[in-house]
């Protein structure tokens, strides 16, 4: 259960800062232990790589919290925190954090990203609705990094409320136009965030509603059959690499932003990394994450719920086919138990 906001601000956020100070103080000892343990464990310097990324995360988390505190004071102790110039400053914090984490992930974890799709200049000056496949712990991070640092967008995202356990995510994203919801929270937050998009905004949702796993796929199909939705269950069985999409959020977003272009995003290379143990076994990953972006102009988006649901299902089948056609990832075998 998520603790109240005041507990997260007074206990969790200072706790991260104190933990970072303690880790930095013990860093020489921790590095020595990791260096000694590395030759004894599978993988190339796996403990050092993992320890470096954990330490970097703590350091950047603390830096973000300090920057957010400075912005809070500069805004008149929160009085002007929602004004445009402070909103831009918060997006600058997001950009810097994601740029640093992405660069270190590529270097330390041996992850490369190959992107196909329209050039950023072809999507400039238009509001975007971004519907993305969801699989693995890193895809949201990579998608938002691409939007803010490659496409120069200010994303709006609907996220699970449990992500607020992370103090920097909690403070930063609650100050920006995002919404944290519990699973099954309905479409009101989607309608709110998809309204009033300007030419550098991008509203992001994941139509599957959760990370893809084989178990979730089987449960979803069984649930559809139990509800008597046999045609939908058969359609879901045809999808081998994605979960059947939930159309409510997509339809709500299209209704609220009829002038926005739609971007579909598929990716492959992270779907075998479901748990922390999977990530540990895969280090160093030696992986190539492939992303494919498709842009559909607003004029080509169908109107009406029935047509939009059919359109969503067609695109999801196309994304499923694209994922299935990708070459096997070299890091997948090491991640297998």
pLDDT single digits (tens) 2-53: 899 999 999 999 999 999 999 999 988 988 898 888 888 888 888 888 888 8
Q: Find the angle CA(177)-CA(56)-CA(52) to the nearest 5 degrees.
A: 145
Q: What is the structure's pLDDT at 140?
A: 83
DSSP helix/strand/coil, 129: strand
337 pLDDT band, cuts 50/70/90, is: very low
Going by pLDDT thresholds of 50, 70 and 90, the confidence category of residue 110 is confident
Residue 17, SS3 per DSSP: helix
The answer to whether 203 touches 268, Cβ cutoff 8 Å, is no
- With 0-12 / 13-18 / 19 or more C-beta atoms within 10 angstroms meaning exposed / middle / buried, residue 191 is middle
Has residue 82 got a pLDDT over 90?
yes
Considering only CA atoms, which of 243, 288, 292 is closest in space to residue 270?
288
| β-strand pairing of 287-296 with 261-268 | antiparallel
- Residue 201 tokens read as 């905004």
For residue 330, pLDDT beyond 70: no
Beta-sheet strand order (sheet of 128-132): 111-116, 287-296, 261-268, 128-132, 201-205, 154-160, 179-181
What size, in residues, is the chain? 337
The confidence band for 332, taking pLDDT boundaries of 50, 70 and 90, is: low
Could you state, in order of their start, the residue ranges of all structural domains in the chain? 5-335
Distance separating alpha carbons of residues 115 and 147, to the nearest angstrom? 12
Q: Please list the residues that pair with 192 across neighbouring strands.
A: none
Query: Helix (H) and strand (E) counts for the chain?
Result: 14, 7
In degrees and rounded to multiples of 5, residue 155 shows phi and psi of -75, 150
237-294 per-position pLDDT tens digit? 999 999 999 999 999 999 999 999 999 999 988 776 766 777 777 777 778 889 999 9
Residues 72-78, mean pLDDT to the nearest whole number = 96
What are the residues facing 156 on neighbouring strands?
Answer: 203
13-25 and 27-37 helices, crossing angle to 10° = 70
CB 193 within 8 A of CB 179: yes
Average pLDDT, the chain: 89
**pLDDT-based confidence at residue 113 (cuts at 50, 70, 90):** confident
Answer whether residue 308 shows pLDDT above 60: yes
């Amino acid at each position: 259960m998520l603790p109240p906001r005041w507990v997260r601000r007074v206990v969790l956020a200072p706790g991260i800062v104190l933990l970072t100070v303690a880790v930095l103080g013990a860093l020489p000892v921790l590095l020595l232990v990791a260096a000694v343990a590395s030759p004894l464990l599978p993988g190339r310097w796996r403990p050092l790589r993992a320890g470096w990324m954990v330490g970097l995360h703590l350091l950047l988390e603390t830096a973000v919290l300090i920057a957010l505190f400075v912005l809070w004071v500069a805004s008149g102790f929160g009085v002007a925190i929602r004004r445009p110039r402070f909103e831009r400053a918060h997006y600058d914090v997001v950009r810097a954090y994601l740029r640093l984490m992405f660069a270190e992930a590529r270097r330390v974890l041996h992850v490369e990203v190959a992107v196909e799709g329209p050039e950023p200049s072809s999507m400039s000056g238009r509001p975007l609705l971004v519907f993305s496949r969801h699989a693995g712990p890193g895809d949201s991070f990579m998608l938002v990094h691409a939007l803010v640092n490659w496409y120069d967008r200010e994303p709006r995202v609907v996220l699970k409320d449990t992500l607020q356990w992370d103090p920097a995510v909690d403070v930063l994203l609650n100050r920006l136009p995002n919404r944290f919801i519990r699973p099954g929270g309905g479409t009101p937050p989607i309608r709110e965030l998809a309204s009033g998009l300007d030419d550098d905004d991008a509203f992001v949702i994941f139509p599957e509603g959760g990370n893809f796993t084989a178990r979730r796929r089987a449960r979803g199909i069984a649930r559809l059959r139990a509800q008597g939705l046999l045609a939908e269950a058969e359609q879901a069985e045809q999808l081998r690499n994605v979960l059947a999409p939930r159309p409510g959020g997509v339809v709500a977003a299209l209704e609220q932003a009829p002038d926005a272009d739609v971007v579909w995003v598929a990716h492959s290379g992270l779907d075998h990394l479901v748990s922390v143990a999977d990530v540990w076994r895969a280090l160093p990953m030696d992986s190539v994450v492939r992303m494919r972006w498709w842009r559909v102009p607003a004029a080509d988006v169908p109107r009406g719920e029935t047509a939009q649901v059919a359109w969503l299902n067609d695109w999801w089948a196309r994304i499923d086919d694209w994922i299935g056609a990708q070459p096997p990832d070299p890091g997948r075998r090491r991640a297998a138990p």
